[in-house]
Structure 1
Amino acid sequence: MQVNQSGISARAVAGRDLYHFAARENPFDILYQKIKEETSKCSEFKETVDILKRYIEPNRRDMRSLEQKLTDAELTQLINYASEVKEIFAKKLTESQYLRSAQEFYAQMLSKVRVDFNCKIYSRIGSIPKELISAEVTEKVVSPNFDILGDNPLNLTTEDVLGMIYYLTGNCHIDWK
């Protein structure tokens, strides 16, 4: 019996069993690859950040604080609660800042809340009795915006929607007087 060994490379020749061992990947190489993948999507991410940045950065036209705006509108009784829900919302916004879909959602939601407040509340502030302003804000802005959340994957509450109003107020996008 004659054996023909032509075309056999030394790499695939074994006297008995052939074992293949994969080199262990360096964990830093894995992280580096993830960074490369994420930065390749950077332009997409930056576009969304720019849309949301409009609401995150204070509007330079009116640099009064949330507290000052509520004081000027003679709504000092709202200051502590407004500050609390504003901060709670700001934390939720920060927690999801790296999720593009969440950024798009927050940009759209902040825009809608701002428009609703300006169209349904701001123009009537002088004619609404002070003791009814919170109820009007809830009825005309907070409840309708909470109702459109649907499945609500970000687990927003009605207080978070109210927090959006005070967040926008604190960043000088909404005024109360």
Structure 2
Amino acid sequence: MINWLKNITAGRDVVGRDKITNILPTPTQMDLLSQRYVEEKNNQELTHVIIDELTHYSNEKYDIRDLTEKLQEAGFSYVIETGELLKEEVSKLIIRNQHYKSAQKIITYLLAEVESIFNAKIKSELLTVKEESVLKLLFRTHLEQEIQTHLGVNVLEIYNRQINGMVYFLTGNCHLEWK
């Protein structure tokens, strides 16, 4: 009987009892960028080049109206002060992280997401918004919750204030229209 068992080979896993297979999720683009950011920071890998796409979002496109004018024209005068403050926070976020290529990519990715979500889900609903609380709920429902799911480890410490600030930053730089 022992000779008969010698020539047996297993084509797959050999398990004595229960087989447990753990399948880890594939890391997202944000996970990989966050990991790269930590490595760059630890190794002090600095850059003095701003990636093109971030430059695109940071520069005003063509319109000479500032954020205040755009919000007034669209009927949102009640958020001008908040919008200006939050826009400035995003500008500082960009400046604070401009020397890390992966951080630039994270910020650019988030700006692109904010632009896309605003144009697809928020802009069409702005016509009916008359109160700041309704606007905040729109941002919370469509913008903050979706962006937060992308942040993962959140190595740049970007929270809802900065996410909302990205709307005002993009509006002030002529990438978003409210009317």
TM-score by structure 2 length? Answer: 0.69
Partner of 2:39: none
Partner of 1:56: 58
User: 1:12 is matched with which residue?
Assistant: none
1:96 aligns with 2:97: yes
Alignment of 1:6-21 (within 5 A): none
Cα distance in structure 2, aligned partners of 1:130 and 1:146: 26
Report deviation, 1:174.
0.6
Cα offset, 1:134, TM superposition: 2.6
User: 1:97, 1:65 → 2: CA distance?
Assistant: 24
Question: Deviation of residue 88 (structure 1)?
Answer: 1.1
RMSD (Å) for aligned C-alpha atoms:
1.8
How far residue 129 of structure 1 moved from its aligned partner, in angstroms, is: 2.7
Q: How far apart in 2 are the matches of 1:144 and 1:170?
A: 22
Other structure's SS at 2:151 match: coil
Which residue number in structure 2 is paired with residue 165 of structure 1? 167
Opposite residue 69 of structure 2, the aligned amino acid is Q
Q: More displaced, 136-145 or 97-106?
A: 136-145
**Alignment partners' CA distance in 2, 1:130 and 1:69:** 16
How far the C-alpha of 1:130 sits from its partner, in A, is 1.6
- Give the 3-state SS of the residue equivalent to 1:125 in structure 2: helix
Q: Secondary structure at the match of 2:51?
A: helix
Give the Cα–Cα distance (whole angstroms) in 2 for the partners of residues 77 and 130 of structure 1.
10
After TM superposition, give the deviation of residue 125 of structure 1 in Å. Answer: 1.9
CA distance in 2, matches of 1:119, 1:106: 20
Cα deviation, 1:72-92, whole Å, max 9, x if unaligned, reads 111111011111111111101
* Whole-angstrom CA distance in 2 between matches of 1:129 and 1:109: 25
Task: Give the number of equivalent residue pairs.
Answer: 133
> What residue is the counterpart of 2:129 in the other structure?
129
State the identity %.
32
Question: CA shift at 1:146, angstroms?
Answer: 2.3
What's the TM-score once normalised by structure 1's chain length? Answer: 0.70
Residue of 149, 154, 171 corresponding to 1:152: 154
Question: Letter of the aligned partner of 1:112 in structure 2?
Answer: E
CA apart distance, 1:133:
2.3
Post-superposition, which runs of at least 4 consecutive aligned residues in structure 1 deviate over 3 A?
none
Map residues 107-122 of structure 1 onto 2, 5 A cutoff: 107-122=108-123
Q: Distance in 2 between matches of 1:129 and 1:57?
A: 29
Instruction: Identify unmatched segments of 5+ residues in structure 2.
Output: 1-44
- Is 1:175 matched with 2:177? yes
